[in-house]
Amino acid sequence: MARILITSAIPYINGIKHLGNLVGSQLPADLFARYQRGRGNEVMFLCATDEHGTPAELAAAKAGKPVADYCAEMHEVQADIARRFGLSFDHFGRSSSPQNHALTQHFAGQLAEHGLIREVVEQQMYSRADGRFLPDRYIEGTCPNCGFESARGDQCDNCTKQLDPTDLINPHSTISGSTDLELRETKHLYLRQSAMKDKLEAWIDSKTDWPVLTTSIAKKWLNDGDGLQDRGITRDLDWGIPVKKGAEDWPGMEGKVFYVWFDAPIEYIACAKEWADAKGLDDSAWQRWWRTDKGADDVRYVEFMGKDNVPFHTLGFPATLMGSGEPWKLVDYIKSFNYLNYDGGQFSTSRGRGVFMDQALEILPADYWRWWLLSHAPESSDAEFTWDNFQVSVNKDLADVLGNFVSRITKFCRSKFGEAVPEGGAYGSQEEALLADLTARVRAYEGCMEAMEVRKASQELRAIWVAGNEYLQSAAPWSTFKTDPETAAMQVRLGLNLIRLYAVLSAPFIPFTSARLAEAMGIPDLGWPDDVAAALTALPAGHGFSVPDVLFAKISDEDREDWQSRFAGIRS
């Protein structure tokens, strides 16, 4: 039995995520986790909320709540939505957990001990009105190069020139609008990534099976300009993990916290400890997933993320793990995704444009979204959500091909043989051909799922559903029944078994529907069909079943038009 460790990029705490965020990491990670569990492998699937940083502090202030309370509430909101989408995390943790505090401080201490931390005194913009240091992007002013009035402190959006906040004319805080800014001296810790450049590069070079999208970004950072640069890992903020050297205080760093991108990936590990603690297990339970000296040497670790997250997962986080000098498990495969756009543009939280996870579940069950999103996952390039496409895909694939198949076979059986699997008859050439076809298709489906080729896997699954309709059409039990009821019984028995097979195979994509099918067929045990022919005899003659309600109601034109205008957002 293989052991698979799976992490999804951890969603930021600030607000409810949209469908693009969902399909970019959590949903495909869930697909993979469910598939691997279905195959009988041991899976640890981890995700969490990413709770630190300036945006969390600002969102909390806007909501008029203490940051800790705000994050606790938003964590529950996100956890609830994730549950309702069927995201099957073994644990959904928090980067603000005590476990992550301790582990992040531990890593910083280890890195310092190995001479990989240096202290840097630097000048940074401070806003007296806001009472905080401002990240470059929170400062706007007039561009000295082109005169654009809303240039940001790091770059002018108009002429694209790279800027320093001190370059700006009439700089002001984008938080308060205050112009009362000054340069202040502050001390920060830098992770000496430059010292680990060769080690990181050798490691990246060994990953020959990774997508180009992933390795090219890493190599750019490694080799561009002067090569890999050191990275600041602390900030002057109130909310975060206090800077400490392991359990010891860090002289001169009082009142400072670790930078969110330093502690967020460490939460992948801390999350496993949260899981163990919540279950009352000791440290060996989570260490066997993360420490190669404590049982993790046979673990395959796969990370899922959007392409914007790649640098931190290919360089920053591995640098932290390698630099610790301890035998932590490094990622084996990174599956990265492009972006999902919404109807000709980007999803936009501020404009209310596009569908957000909570809204999606208000209008349709999770499986509709899961199916569409996964079968249109932005793997090779950016993808686009349109209501037309959504309506047509869902109606055709789910309602017509799968839903109607289940309906026609169960209802036919009920009317001719009753609500139990009929007995009698033996396979003929049509059935043998179907078994051969299905066996080949199931093996192809497994191949796609192992390779995490999400779209192709969805196409294979759909083809497996279609094979059922083709069989019914050619076998025509409604016609056979008139002259040869025994053969019709065999055909129907096979059809009912196909439903069970579909429940098993479809579970990674549409888990809620699979569960309904399994219940209707009266078979709670959904073992993976390693032997397809055998799997199609799992429901024996005489086994009772029930006719399920309509699996997928079709989306009407009225619904589509209604939703299209409802989620269009404010035109600008």
Residues 40-79 that bind RNA (CB under 7 A): 50, 52-55
Tell me the window of 33-41, 132-140, 363-371, 442-450 that interacts with RNA (CB under 7 A).
Answer: 132-140
> Is 232 among the residues that bind RNA (CB under 7 A)?
yes
By three-state DSSP, how is residue 39 classified?
Answer: coil
Q: CB under 8 Å to 547, separation ≥6 — which residues?
A: 407, 410, 411, 414, 419, 520
Give the x/- contact pattern for RNA in 503-532, rule: CB under 7 A: ------------------------------
Sign of CA dihedral 385, 386, 392, 395: positive
Minimum separation from the CB atom of position 217 to RNA (A): 5
- Phi and psi angles of residue 438, each rounded to the nearest 5 degrees, phi first: -65, -40
Minimum separation from the CB atom of position 420 to RNA (A): 17
Minimum separation from the CB atom of position 281 to RNA (A): 29
Q: Residue 143, annotated ligand binder?
A: yes
Q: Residue 146, annotated ligand binder?
A: yes
Sign of CA dihedral 561, 562, 567, 571: positive
Residue among 36 and 49 whose Cβ is closer to RNA: 49
Selected from 466, 533, 541, 568, the binder of RNA by CB under 7 A is 466
Minimum separation from the CB atom of position 84 to RNA (A): 21
> Is 227 among the residues that bind RNA (CB under 7 A)?
yes
CA distance 176 to 179: 9
Residues in 361-420 at the binding interface with RNA, rule: CB under 7 A: 376, 378-384, 389, 392, 396, 398-404, 406-409, 411-412, 415
Residues in 164-203 at the binding interface with RNA, rule: CB under 7 A: 190, 193
Number of residues that bind RNA (CB under 7 A): 88
CA distance 159 to 359: 37
Tell me the window of 71-79, 254-262, 278-286, 295-303 that interacts with RNA (CB under 7 A).
Answer: 254-262
Give the x/- contact pattern for RNA in 269-288, rule: CB under 7 A: --------------------
Selected from 45, 552, 563, 567, the binder of RNA by CB under 7 A is 552
> Is 130 among the residues that bind RNA (CB under 7 A)?
no
Per-residue CA distances from 426 to 409, 416, 488 (Å): 18, 18, 10
Residues in 339-358 at the binding interface with RNA, rule: CB under 7 A: 339, 346
Identify the H or E element spanning 335: strand 333-337
Selected from 246, 469, 541, 560, the binder of RNA by CB under 7 A is 469
Residues in 431-460 at the binding interface with RNA, rule: CB under 7 A: 455, 459
Residues in 148-167 at the binding interface with RNA, rule: CB under 7 A: 153-154, 160, 162
What is the DSSP track for 362-409? HHS-HHHHHHHHHHT--SSS-EEE-HHHHHHHIIIIIIIIIIHHHHHH
User: Which residue(s) pair with 3 in the sheet?
Assistant: 42, 299
Minimum separation from the CB atom of position 263 to RNA (A): 10
> Is 250 among the residues that bind RNA (CB under 7 A)?
no
> Is 15 among the residues that bind RNA (CB under 7 A)?
no
Closest CA to 551 of 363, 446, 401, 448: 401
CA distance 129 to 449: 54
CA distance 308 to 336: 9
Sign of CA dihedral 281, 301, 368, 400: negative
Q: Which amino acid appears at position 140 of this protein?
A: E
Minimum separation from the CB atom of position 155 to RNA (A): 7
Alpha helix (H) residue ranges in 157-311: 197-205, 212-223, 260-278, 283-290, 310-311
Per-residue CA distances from 189 to 97, 283, 426, 525 (Å): 22, 30, 74, 54
> Is 124 among the residues that bind RNA (CB under 7 A)?
no
Identify the H or E element spanning 186: strand 181-191
Tell me the window of 67-75, 283-291, 327-335, 550-558 that interacts with RNA (CB under 7 A).
Answer: 550-558
Selected from 59, 260, 489, 494, the binder of RNA by CB under 7 A is 260
> Is 539 among the residues that bind RNA (CB under 7 A)?
no
Per-residue CA distances from 87 to 28, 151, 358, 362, 367 (Å): 10, 40, 14, 17, 11
Selected from 68, 436, 550, 566, the binder of RNA by CB under 7 A is 550
Minimum separation from the CB atom of position 444 to RNA (A): 12
Minimum separation from the CB atom of position 46 to RNA (A): 17
> Is 217 among the residues that bind RNA (CB under 7 A)?
yes
Q: Per this entry, what is the length of the chain?
A: 572
CA distance 378 to 361: 21
Q: Residue 159, annotated ligand binder?
A: yes
Residues forming the annotated binding site for Zn(2+)?
143, 146, 156, 159
Residues forming the annotated binding site for ATP?
349
Residues forming the annotated binding site?
143, 146, 156, 159, 349
